[in-house]
Amino acid sequence: MEESANFVLDSYALIGYLEGEKFADQIHAMLMKARNGLCRIYLHALHVGEAYYITYRQSGPDMADLAYARIKAFPVA
C-alpha cells in the first residue's frame, strides 16, 4: 500500500454516520476507501461501547444491536 491517510472514528462520528447526519457521506466515502485499501480507519472499543450505549438509551436494545452489527462490519484496522 502506498502512503495513505489514516483516520480515527469516535462515537460522535459513528452515531452521526448511522443516523445519516450531514457528514455521513464523507464517512461513507472514507469507509469505501478503506475497503479498497486506500486508507486505514481505526476505531477504539470504548467508542464502539459508547455508541452502543447511547443508541440503547435513545432507541432500545434492538436498534443498539443493529448499530453494533453495522459498526462491526466496518473495514477498520
* Model pLDDT for residues 2-59, shown as the tens digit of each residue: 557 899 999 999 999 999 999 999 999 999 999 999 999 999 999 999 999 999 999 9
State the pTM of this model: 0.85
Burial of 14 (0-12, 13-18, 19+ CB in 10 A): buried
Domain ranges of the chain: 5-72
CB 34 within 8 A of CB 75: yes
- Cα dihedral angle (63, 66, 68, 73), rounded to 10 degrees? -160
